Amino acid sequence: CTKQTSENSMASPHTDLHFVLFPLMAQGHLIPMVDMARILAQRGAIVTIVTSPVNAKRFKPVIDRAIEAKLQIQFLELPLPLDEVGLPEGCENFDLLPSHAHALNMYSAMSMLENPAEILLKTLCTPPSCIISDSGFPWTNNIAKRLNIPRLIFYGPGCFAFLCMHILTHTNILNEIETNSEYFAIPGLPDQIEVTKPQAFTWGKGDSKETTEIFERAQEADKDSFGIVVNSFEELEPKYVEAFAKAKDKKVWCIGPVSICNKSFNDVAERGNKAAINGHDYIKWLDSREPGSVVYVCLGSLSYVSTEQAIEIGLGLELSNFPFIWFIRNTTDEFERWLLEDGYEERVKDRGLMVRGWAPQILILSHQATGGFVTHCGWNSTLEGVSAGIPLVTWPQFAEQFLNERFIIDVLKIGVKIGTEVPIVFTELDKSKIIVKRQDVKIAVQDLMSTEEEGEARRKRAREFKVLAKIAMEEGGSSHRNMTLMIKAITSIKEVAKNTKSVIDV
Ligand code: UDP
């Protein structure tokens, strides 16, 4: 029996619901859903997160701390049938795949989890009241139906990107655009948003027959969902929240930025994975810098940077003349050789920190020395930058990242483009060279950090969003209220189901 007996003491219990969360096995999905689990548990709910053993192990310290704080959270481990799909042992997260071309094998493994997941859910002492599922698990829809409980969906990105995707997949606009280089305005949006066909196309329709089928299956299952939970906040994208809910004809609850729920040093420093260096060492390094002077560079959990590209980034940062902290996810022997031969690290050691591995991102973003963020425009990173009140250099690569770039530049007006125009096919990331030249890096960073009027205006807007984000998550704020409304809606469904059952029993 997997029932937790601890009582929630952080917040007075508002609910006796049991939420079961199914995050996709990727950091950009697991991280916000683990935060979401904590927020639900702080409201008194029991929360079960279903994931594979390697992912459960990665997040164990976070969950152990939550349990210590008397939150009723647990992992339920569901092994992935890696053997059956030709994936090596331990490849249980998109960031652990031998190559990005194995993404489809991962999707195949995930699609086989319906039966084992249902059997596991039936072992729970407290029956689930609601499933919150990543859209990438369409089969959770079947389980929710059989258990007669509502299924909410979580996609990852914000309402702006989803509204764009909805329009792009429900109109003929993409067929009308003849070339891949032409910019066109996405019709029916509250703002003038222009993209090229590949920028709009890589996401929502898939980039191959197989990925298109994955998207279609997810969209079909999503039609039955009771509502959509979004890691965003209403004040950030008010027109888009409303238009997205209308387009989907579903309830949309914006409950973020969920990263703000991480308050203690350990929760901030150890979010998602073990950081490459002890959090206190970063603080020491950042403490020695002027406020707002440091550029933080991190291209997410999946982006791939070739040796050539890493060299250009390094030289561009050096040329910019700003202090920087740069995280490299996938260093290569070739790159390490270049570093030695070029004497790069020695040259920049007084103002540059280069780290191979996992960044404690919100720890760095929330430090007063950090003044700019070079991001790949993943939605979580975008929102974490916004929550920290920091302007962004935008370097989108794949998925909905080009749409997020448009949101940062055209709607929020808190960013500077690095200048990439052509998306990379996700399954071919490893082959990508994507050369953004050192001059492009230098110019974008200098522009972002500039104290001229435009730079100051960007910085001011970014700071305003930080305040709004914080208020949204506080009691009485929009995201706090939306969480209450979502819990109430699920409670009502549970009550109706209970009453119907007692009438039948009589
Ligand atoms: N992240 C981190 N350290 C890293 C890389 C990523 O903490 O070195 C976190 C980041 O804070 C964010 C998530 O991983 O919460 C990445 O999600 P995002 O949507 O930004 O991009 P993805 O990795 O999915 O492309």
Specify the DSSP class assigned to residue 262.
-
The one-letter code for the residue type at 495 is E
> Residue 145, Cβ neighbours under 10 Å: how many?
11
pLDDT of residue 8: 42
Any ligand 1 atom below 6 A from CB of 80: no
Atom of ligand 1 nearest to the CA of 95: 23
Atom of ligand 1 nearest to the CA of 29: 24
For residues 150 and 170, the answer to whether their CB atoms sit within 8 Å is: no
Coil, helix or strand at residue 311:
helix
Q: Which of 380, 390, 392 is the best mutation target for the ligand 1 pocket, counting ligand atoms within 8 Å of the beta carbon and taking the most?
A: 380
> Residue 381, Cβ neighbours under 10 Å: how many?
24
Question: Tokens standing for 279?
Answer: 């959090």
Return d(Cα 393, Cα 465) in angstroms, integer: 17
pLDDT tens across 29-85, in order?
999 999 999 999 999 999 999 999 999 999 999 999 999 999 999 999 999 999 999
pLDDT of residue 29: 97
Characterize the bridge pairing of strands 18-22 and 46-51: parallel
Going from the Cα of 341 to the center of ligand 1, the distance in angstroms, rounded, reads 31
Going from the Cα of 488 to the center of ligand 1, the distance in angstroms, rounded, reads 31
Any ligand 1 atom below 6 A from CB of 314: no
For residues 106 and 97, the answer to whether their CB atoms sit within 8 Å is: yes
Any ligand 1 atom below 6 A from CB of 381: yes
CB under 8 Å to 474, separation ≥6 — which residues? Answer: 480
Pick out the chain residues at pLDDT < 50: 1-13
Any ligand 1 atom below 6 A from CB of 256: no
Atom of ligand 1 nearest to the CA of 300: 23
The one-letter code for the residue type at 446 is Q
Q: Which of 58, 97, 301, 354 is the best mutation target for the ligand 1 pocket, counting ligand atoms within 8 Å of the beta carbon and taking the most?
A: 301
Any ligand 1 atom below 6 A from CB of 359: yes
pLDDT of residue 364: 95
Return d(Cα 265, Cα 268) in angstroms, integer: 5
Going from the Cα of 314 to the center of ligand 1, the distance in angstroms, rounded, reads 20
Going from the Cα of 360 to the center of ligand 1, the distance in angstroms, rounded, reads 10
pLDDT of residue 213: 85
pLDDT of residue 431: 75
Output the residue whose Cα is nearest ligand 1's atom 15: 380
pLDDT of residue 489: 96
Coil, helix or strand at residue 352:
strand
Q: Backbone dihedral region of 90: left (phi > 0), alpha (psi from -120 to 50 degrees) or beta?
A: left
> Strands across the sheet with 294-298, in order?
352-356, 324-328, 294-298, 370-375, 392-394, 415-417
Strand runs labelled E in 236-298:
251-254, 294-298
Atom of ligand 1 nearest to the CA of 379: 19
**Cα–Cα distances in angstroms (integers) from residue 421 to residues 183, 194, 316, 407, 434, in the given order:** 10, 12, 19, 15, 10
CB under 8 Å to 183, separation ≥6 — which residues? Answer: 194, 195, 196
Going from the Cα of 495 to the center of ligand 1, the distance in angstroms, rounded, reads 38
For residues 95 and 302, the answer to whether their CB atoms sit within 8 Å is: yes
